[in-house]
Structure 1
Amino acid sequence: MNEVTTSRAGGPARRTAGAAALLRLLALLVFVAGTASGMSYLIPARVGVTELARDADPDGSLVVHLRQTDLLEVRARWSTGFLGDKEIVHHFDVLPSAPGGTAAFEKSVTRALGAEGKSVRFVEDDPLRDLGGLSAFVPVLYWRFIPGTWLRWSVLLCALAVLVSVARGGHRRAAAGHWYAACLLAGTGFLVHLWSEPSSLGRRGQTGSAPLSGRQVAARTLTVLAAVVLSGFGTAALRGY
């Protein structure tokens, strides 16, 4: 009788654990998608006017952000959706006359697109104007550069869920302070926490996972951060930098 009772009690527990693991995997997917999207935004593909003409349409709904980064250089960037961030870096042979380089570039592109019956809407601003200062050295703040509103807030929601989980305590393999530092300083601590707590997703079905020291949490967090940075260099190389 006791064995039957134990078996019946174990069924809901296993289902609860399975649901929790699924939620952790979904949150991990959200973080990975957010990281990829932010990386694409910070490192747009280097293309030419031909690519802009391909993305433009007759109703001019595509928004192109223009900024002059040098006396002889103008940059134009736009997005076609998730991971579809692109940028033109245009260099003038001679110094553009008044009213300036952005106006000259806009006039040239408008003429080229008009020949194909297409147009775009130009906006003079710098999408990366908030990137700088001490915030450039705090990876978790790069959350601001996820372009898709729905994805940005999904990442924030998952991050808050992780912080609440840490605050609630319970069975944890590492101290709350270690997780707070890993999450709020490096950002990749959220990924490590979701994978590791309360047991490793890579060792499902096993209980009693070994505790993690602060050094182990830091090592895992920095390893994932290094992987993200290397992915950024790889993305830059593939996108023509």
Structure 2
Amino acid sequence: MPKYSTGLLNEFAPHIAELTKCNLPPMEEQKNISRSLINSFILNSAFFAKYPEPMHQYGISFLRKTEAAFQEYYYALELLSNYVNTHILYNDKPNEKLSQYFEILHRFEVLISQIYQAYMVFEKFLNLEKHGRFWKKGDGSSLEKISVLYNFSKHAEDKIKETPSLPGYHIWLTNSGVSCEQEAISFFEISELLQELAENASYYSNVKKVIDDVQSGAYDERINER
């Protein structure tokens, strides 16, 4: 089988030769929390207290997507770590390097989609039409960056039609994060979004505590601080 040159690799995977490090934060402290969210929610809902509909359904969806986001994060972390730690070996097998790179990129696309969808469902859960959304177009926030990357991935056919002359794929990985033609988000920003999801999911999965806080007035303080 013929070998792929660096130039050819870059044509199909922009900046692939520059991907030499894994700078994803390990997020070890969140592993146990992220694996118990739905179980905590089900236990609370079955034996202590239950959110009214449609909050209950939004809650299940929010927790499920948060757990899925963490699963994809740790999977991507493992794959990217293995990739950069063995990238020297691929000097003789560039074909395999390209295949592994696209597998990692796919995991990040799924991760981005789960983060975005988790926040969108969480907005519905909190009824933020009344309290203000998490982000606005043009605010430069991490969530806006996630939104742009999510739409680039979701509507790849439109992006290709708009800019057919651009080389290769329209989303790529760097040593610092994930990029497309219009936006870039750092791995640190991704980890911050996941940290925020974990904190909120942990709190709202404890339905009894949330209802107790509503009755005591502590919940209003939490919403106002947001």
TM-score, normalising length: structure 2? 0.33
Q: Which has the higher contact order (CA 8 A, sep 6+)?
A: 2
Greater gyration radius: 1
* Greater helix proportion: 2
TM-score, normalising length: structure 1? 0.32
* Greater strand proportion: 1
